[in-house]
Structure 1
Amino acid sequence: MSKCILVVLGGDVNILQLKEICSKTEDLMVIAADRGLEALDEAGICPDIIMGDYDSVRKSILDKYRDRKMITFDSVKDFTDGEAAVIRAIEETGRDSEDDCKIVILGATGNRPDHTMANLSLLKKCCDEARNAVVLTGNSRIRLFKGPADIDFYKNREKYDYISLLPLGDSVSGVNIKGFKYDASDLCLVQGSSRGISNELSDEVGRISFLSGYLMIVETVDQDNDYR
Structure 2
Amino acid sequence: MGLNGEQEARRVVIASGGELGDWALDEIRPDDVLIGADRGALFLVRHGLRPMLALGDFDSVSAEELEQIRHGSDETDACDPIDKNWTDTELAFRYALERDPKPAEIVLLGALGTRFDHSLANVHLLQLGGASGIPCRIVDRHNEIRLVAGSGEGAATVRRGRFRQVSLLPLSAEVTGITLEGFQYPLRDATLRIGQSLGVSNVLLAEEGTVRVRTGLLLVIQSVD
Q: TM-score if structure 2 supplies the norm length?
A: 0.87
Cα deviation, residue 180, structure 1: 1.1
Q: Which residue of 2 aligns with 1:136?
A: 139
Deviation by residue 1:36-90 (Cα, 9 ceiling, x = unmatched): 1232133221211011111112222110232431112211122111100000111
Q: Secondary structure at the match of 1:51?
A: strand
Structure 2 stretches of 5 or more lacking a match? 1-8
Cα deviation, residue 19, structure 1: 2.2
**Matching residue within 120, 125, 128 for 1:122:** 125
Q: Does 1:75 align with 2:81?
A: yes
- Identity, in percent, stands at 32
Q: Secondary structure at the match of 2:129?
A: helix
Q: TM-score if structure 1 supplies the norm length?
A: 0.86
1:30 maps to a residue whose letter is L
Superposed, 1:77-156 pairs within 5 Å as 77-92=84-99, 95-96=100-101, 101-147=104-150, 148-154=153-159
Measured in 2, the distance between the counterparts of 1:178 and 1:27 equals: 33
Measured in 1, the distance between the counterparts of 2:52 and 2:207 equals: 40
Q: Does 1:162 align with 2:165?
A: yes
- 1:41/1:61 contact within 8 Å kept: no
Structure 1 stretches of 5 or more lacking a match? 223-228
TM-aligned CA distance change 1:45 to 1:203, over 3 Å:
closer
RMSD: 1.8
- 1:35/1:58 contact within 8 Å kept: no
Cα deviation, residue 10, structure 1: 0.6
Cα deviation, residue 18, structure 1: 2.7
Number of equivalenced pairs: 212
Q: Does 1:37 align with 2:41?
A: yes
Measured in 1, the distance between the counterparts of 2:218 and 2:55 equals: 29
Q: Secondary structure at the match of 1:83?
A: helix
Deviation by residue 1:88-124 (Cα, 9 ceiling, x = unmatched): 11112xx127xx7211110010000000000111111
- 1:37/1:62 contact within 8 Å kept: no
Measured in 1, the distance between the counterparts of 2:222 and 2:178 equals: 17
